Amino acid sequence: MAEKVLQGRRGARIEGDFVVFLIGARLDPRNPIRSLRDLGGRRGMPAMLRYLTEHPEKGPLGYESYGLTMSVQYWRSFEHLERFARDESDPHLQVWRDYWKRVGNDPRSGIWHETFLVRAGEYEAVYGNMPPHGLARASEVVPIGTDSSARGRLRRRSS
């Protein structure tokens, strides 16, 4: 079911610092099924995201998935993200170890991630006639005035 479109210009507001975590994979076009197995199969990213949705105390604020090969995640802090990545009782660590055992230096499948630490007020987001998306799904959706600019929105939040 499609989410309700919020008419007009909206923004996202979140209190305090947060983390944006981009993570993705490169599948072998000749054998994508093997690549998906390399990436954890049923225990891969979709399973981890379901787990995180069920455990908000772990620090995830929200995410957007783009197929099976990329997601943008929002976390309360780097410490939350790091704890999830390293905790033996969470699903990530074993999948990560299994990936390196299975693939090693074989170029058939690839993984990547980028982590951005965002300080309070040092971000801006604009959504025009959109359902909540991206940071707006992980935070509060707020209206934006028609006379505002990116510079003004950043200055207003950081002052």
The neighbour count for residue 42, using CB atoms within 10 Å, is: 8
Spatial separation of the C-alpha atoms in residues 84 and 75, rounded to whole Å: 11
CA dihedral 18, 62, 114, 154 (to 10 degrees): -40
Residue 88 lies in a domain: yes
Quote the CA–CA distance of 118 and 76 in Å, as a whole number: 10
Is position 29 within any domain? yes
Q: Tell whether 141 is covered by a domain.
A: no
Residue 26 confidence (pLDDT): 95
- The whole-number mean pLDDT for each consecutive block of 10 residues of the chain, a chain of 159 residues, reads 88 96 95 92 92 97 93 98 96 93 91 96 93 94 82 65
- pLDDT value of residue 154: 78
Query: Is residue 99 one of the residues assigned to a domain?
Result: yes
Amino acid identity of residue 84, one-letter, is F
Q: Which domain holds residue 45?
A: 18-60+78-118
In 47-159, which ranges are E strands? 60-66, 70-75, 110-118, 127-130, 140-143
Tell me if 39 is assigned to some domain.
yes
Distance CA 97, CA 113 (A): 16
Residue 14: count other Cβ atoms within 10 Å of its Cβ: 20
Determine the pLDDT at residue 148. 76
Question: Is residue 6 included in any domain, yes or no?
Answer: no
In a domain, 136, yes or no: no
pLDDT of residue 155: 64
Number of structural domains (the chain) is: 1
Which residue is associated with the tokens 């704890």? 83
Predicted local confidence at residue 156, as pLDDT = 56
- Residue 42's pLDDT is 87
Q: Other C-beta atoms within 10 Å of 90: how many?
A: 17
Residue 43 lies in a domain: yes
Contact between residue 129 and residue 5 where contact means Cβ atoms under 8 Å apart = yes
